[in-house]
Amino acid sequence: MSELSEASEVSELALEAEKLDAADELAPLRDRFVLDDVVYLDGNSLGALPAHVPDRVVDVVRRQWGELRIRSWEESGWWTAPERIGDRIAPLVGAAAGQIVVGDSTSVNVFKALVAAVRMADEDRTEILVDATTFPTDGYIAESAARLTGRTLRAVTPAEVPGALTGRTAAVLLNHVDYRTGRLHDLPGLTAAVHAAGALAVWDLCHSAGALPVGLDEHGVDLAVGCTYKYLNGGPGSPAYLYVRRDLQPRFDSPLPGWNSHSDPFGMSPSYAPAPGAPRGRVGTPDILSMLALEAALDVWDGVSVSAVRAKSLALTDFFLRCVRAYTEPGRVECVTPERHEERGSQVALRCADAGEVMKRLIDRGVVGDFRHPDVLRFGFTPLYVGFADTERAARVLGEELA
């Protein structure tokens, strides 16, 4: 390609990006976040800061803690925060109120959900299936849960799950979106297959909640967990959440019974009696500062349609792939994210031999994605604040660094 034709293509794509941004109904949401001139494509690891959160946190620290002190458990609603915030998250994952409790980390909630799922299964169901491509922690916890419950553990890919299910399967732990590749797995179909085998489905939603419709209630998911610091923008280390389908709640037997999930938490009884409903997923005292920062962060979702977010996500990732193809030499990078919309989450993963060094150079030039060992560049697209001009610029800088 000549320098003239290359410049023309850059100009055309930049102009197209400008037009797409002008027509974007979600574009005004960008003003709800603290952003600079960096192209931030790492919201699939840590979401950007919603602009109003600092003032809300100051109020929590100075007034609720500093002035009201212990009274804030009741007067400021601290005690009911785990369920209240769970109900804020519920519509973002397709769940009715009263089925999600916020607290602990994703890892802890995976442990609670998986062990509880196995305990709800018949005793002759002696095997747990786990996503072989899962984020490592889920695999570690599944192995521990298997030891704890006396079950065997078998790792299979999501595509292999239907053929791997047997009458011995107790529970299956799956990721909705593969954290490396951005592949979106078939939650409705796999959940149906798990149920047809008489087992329970536990889904990890870390890379899908806030980026695309999930449909927990619609598809009959049994249990689900997720973090809140990625597409939900809750802040570093913000508490995770646990979904327990309403009809399963009376049978939910947590392996971590704590005083916060007791039916009479202030009765201080030496024997444990679980609270009814979602609160039985609680364990100990909630992390109030980070939890209330999350509650404030969720305000950015007021009036926002998850389906509109999904439509923009697909448009952004489509456009990014077009720009990458236009700006990079053929064969220099390999896209490992599926092209088909029904198989794509909200990130694009590109493979190249020197990915670690390339990402360092991109970050130096104001394009922030991340690197996954050994050779993957990850770019996460958060439709609430990423625009098409950002997308074109990221691909153009990538092409320049790969030249």
Percent of the chain residues past pLDDT 70, beyond the cut: 98
Choose, from 24, 178, 204, 222, the residue flagged as catalytic.
204
What proportion of the chain, given as a percentage, has pLDDT over 90? 97
Is 229 tagged catalytic?
A: yes
Contact 42, 380 (CB under 8 A): yes
Cα torsion through 145, 85, 232, 301, rounded to 10: 150
Catalytic-residue membership of 378: yes
Average model confidence (pLDDT) across the chain: 97
Q: What is the pLDDT of residues 260-282, one digit of tens each?
A: 999 999 999 999 999 999 999 99
State the DSSP H helix or E strand holding residue 381, giving kind and residue range, or none if neither.
Answer: none
pLDDT tens-digit series, residues 94-129: 999 999 999 999 999 999 999 999 999 999 999 999
pLDDT tier, 60 (very low <50, low <70, confident <90, very high otherwise): very high
Pairing of strands 100-102, 241-244: antiparallel
Q: Which residue in the list 135, 252, 319, 381 is annotated as catalytic?
A: 135
Radius of gyration of the chain (CA): 22
Is pLDDT above 70 for 195? Answer: yes
Structure tokens at 8: 């023309």
pLDDT at 10: 75
What are residue 304's phi and psi, to 5 degrees?
Answer: -100, 135
| Rounded Cα gap, residues 194 and 181, in angstroms | 24
Kindly tell me the burial class for residue 127, based on how many C-beta atoms sit within 10 Å of its own C-beta (0-12, 13-18, 19 or more).
buried
Q: Is the pLDDT of residue 299 over 90?
A: yes
The predicted pLDDT at position 93 comes to 98
Catalytic member of 154, 180, 245, 378: 378
* Known catalytic residue at 204: yes
The single-letter DSSP state of residue 51 is T
Q: Which DSSP helix (H) or strand (E) runs through 201? A: strand 200-204
- Angle in degrees, CA 328, 331, 332, rounded to 5: 55
The catalytic residue among 230, 280, 312, 396 is: 230
Report pLDDT for 26.
98
61 has a pLDDT exceeding 90 = yes
**pLDDT band of 6, cuts 50, 70, 90:** low
Cβ proximity of 88 and 295 under 8 Å: yes
**pLDDT over 90 (residue 204):** yes
Q: Which of 229, 241, 319, 388 is catalytic?
A: 229
| Strand 223-226 with 347-351, pairing | unpaired
| 224's tokens | 């689900």
Task: Look at residues 272, 249, 247, 250 and name the one whose alpha carbon lies nearest to residue 259.
Answer: 272
Q: Is the pLDDT of residue 162 over 90?
A: yes
Predicted pLDDT of residue 324: 97
Q: What are phi and psi of 368, to 5 degrees?
A: -105, 110
Strand ranges of the sheet holding 200-204, from the earlier edge strand across to the other edge:
100-102, 241-244, 223-226, 200-204, 169-175, 127-131, 152-156
Residue 11, pLDDT score: 86
For residue range 64-74, list pLDDT tens digits in order.
999 999 999 99
**Of residues 313, 300, 320, 298, the one with CA closest to residue 383:** 313
Token couple for 333 = 């990078």
DSSP for 231-258?
Answer: TT---TT---EEEE-GGGGGG---SS--
Active site residue 33: no
Contact of 101 with 279, CB cutoff 8 Å: yes
Does the pLDDT at position 2 exceed 70? no
